[in-house]
Structure 1
């Protein structure tokens, strides 16, 4: 058998096969353009007001703590005496600030008080008020020149509207021993006459039966 002769390819045919045909693109370029087109479509489909919110800002306290921690991490290690000296210096600085602030506040308050000061009123002569008077029932006249008087009090409760009754006792001075147990008397407030006597008998309104 005679060997088949292979046709010889020219350089022009080889170049034509290697060059891509018009209207066709390489597979890699098409694959690269597909994600870009998908991103454009997703951005177009997204509403105009749908904007991702920025990350929330930290509170001021946390910001100060973070800044302080960052400054402390950058600072060179110090000894115990150096840290104590820094604390003392900071305390002195803050104390000076407080003194200046308090001085300004005092000056401001003094200026306000002086501006708003009213003319001094004339001093009136001291006068004695009307002494208190009480009506009560004598419950004991055993002591000499002293009677024990019970004062009955009846008040209406503010919320429950119920009449609440209570009583209190006091010692009154009776120089003539005129009042006896069961009498209705009137006593008036006076100067301290003994350890427990601050009242004085005025009159006997009703005798005991």
Structure 2
């Protein structure tokens, strides 16, 4: 099934209807990268993203973090600390509207350097 994303299909197969590869779930909108912070729920992971926000008063950057609940298909084996790519989809529950589409190797993660206040 073509996702419209340039991600490889997992080698393992599953029978989850909310799997973007083996089920009927379509993806749309934005894709995000982050680290798996929690795998405590069934078929759900919490993906944590850290980013910098400029504080104009002090001309410094402040770290912020966002935690995004995402559906974890059984064909993608995830552990806490893994770096993953998630894609937006239709709402799957009250809080879930993202699905894990790829587990990234550490070398694949792109780090974007933001310009710090050198004005």
Fold equivalence (TM over 0.5): yes
2:95 corresponds to: 196
Give TM-score, length-normalised by structure 2: 0.59
Alignment of 1:136 with 2:45, yes or no, is no
Superposed displacement of residue 155, structure 1: 2.2
Which protein is richer in strand relative to its size? 2
CA distance in 2, matches of 1:175, 1:145: 6
CA distance in 1, matches of 2:65, 2:37: 12
Which protein is richer in helix relative to its size? 1
1:187 corresponds to: 86
- Larger radius of gyration between Structure 1 and Structure 2: 1
CA RMSD in angstroms, aligned pairs only: 1.7
Aligned pair partner of 1:165 in 63, 66, 74: 63
**Structure 1 segments of 4 or more deviating over 2 A?**
155-160
Give the unaligned 5+ runs of structure 1. Answer: 1-129
Give the unaligned 5+ runs of structure 2. Answer: 1-27, 107-119
> Greater relative contact order (Cα 8 A, min sep 6): structure 1 or 2?
2
